[in-house]
Amino acid sequence: MTFSVWTLLGAMVIGTGIGVLTGMFGVGGGFMITPLMNIVLGIPMQIAVGTGLLQILGTSSAGLYRRRKEKLVDLKLAVVLFGGSVVGSRLGLQTLTYLEGLGDIVLPGGSMPAAQFYLLLVFFVLLGLIAGWVFYDTTRKKDDDGAAVIGLFSKIKLPPYSDFDSLEVPRMSIPVLSYFGLFLGFITGLMGIGGGVIMLPSLVYLIGMRTHRAAATSLAVVLLSSIVATINHAMAGNSSVLLAFPLLLGGGVGVQIGINMADRMGGASLRRYFAYVVLAAMLMVAIKLGAALI
């Protein structure tokens, strides 16, 4: 597939912005890359998914390398989640392939590929849930250093358990974490998002980790799950290295800027800005869907 110079320049701008998000919040940025490439640059959804994953690999690697000496990453947690994400990623890609096979769907505003329509719908709902929860949480009074609440998953009594020193409540159910990894992998394979947009609030609110630790650990989880999803999508012919290059170039610069900005912010401020970004993405998806439905 060939792309115009403007498309490649647009990809570089998008890559830089997404890199800043990765550095600040530890998210891969796929929740923005996929719809941005599809809506703004007109890239077919499956190519946007597969290529976006290449960018996520680059920015999360760069971010993790930058944070390697800070010892904030809970590698044990990241690896435990990884197993489920391997299987989930495969299932996600199979689901996407099935949706592609459905062809175009006829809507009041015109026709649209079924894969694009259904995925944008899922994006819209997902982003709304995340933004809503994070806004709700930032309006509650708590200390500025991140999660003071006990993670929801730590209340689930499903043996066997293991201890994770980075958590507010160290004891966690391995089956719960493993299946959560499966869910993350499925989202990665289906939507081309690294899972970070779900991972960051999940590590804070579901698993019970402080925000700065969660940002670093989510980079590791995003990297591991994206490696698998990238391989799967590349084998399916969904990845464009030509398009990924400007994304990565911009992303490499952006992630360093983002980390510098994050280091100057408190946990609550980080979460609030994250919610604003998620809302912006949701608005963009809403506009695209609205145009097709009206």
The least distance separating another protein from the CB of residue 63, rounded to whole angstroms, comes to 22
Pick 99 or 284: Cβ nearer another protein: 99
Question: Can you give the binding site for another protein, defined by CB under 8 A?
Answer: 75-76, 79-84, 86-88, 91, 94, 160, 162, 174-175, 177-179, 181-182
Pick 79 or 280: Cβ nearer another protein: 79
Pick 7 or 178: Cβ nearer another protein: 178
Pick 59 or 188: Cβ nearer another protein: 188
Helices (H) and strands (E) in the chain, counts: 10, 4
Pick 13 or 91: Cβ nearer another protein: 91
Which positions ≥6 away from 289 have C-beta within 8 Å?
117, 120, 121, 124
CB 151 within 8 Å of CB 208 = yes
The least distance separating another protein from the CB of residue 140, rounded to whole angstroms, comes to 32
The least distance separating another protein from the CB of residue 78, rounded to whole angstroms, comes to 10
The least distance separating another protein from the CB of residue 40, rounded to whole angstroms, comes to 34
The least distance separating another protein from the CB of residue 90, rounded to whole angstroms, comes to 8
**Hey, what amino acid is at 287?**
I
Q: Determine the length of the chain.
A: 294
3-state secondary structure of 110: strand
Instruction: Sort 128 into a burial class: Cβ within 10 Å, 0-12 / 13-18 / 19+.
Output: middle
Q: Give the closest residue to 267 by CA, choosing from 220, 192, 214, 195.
A: 214
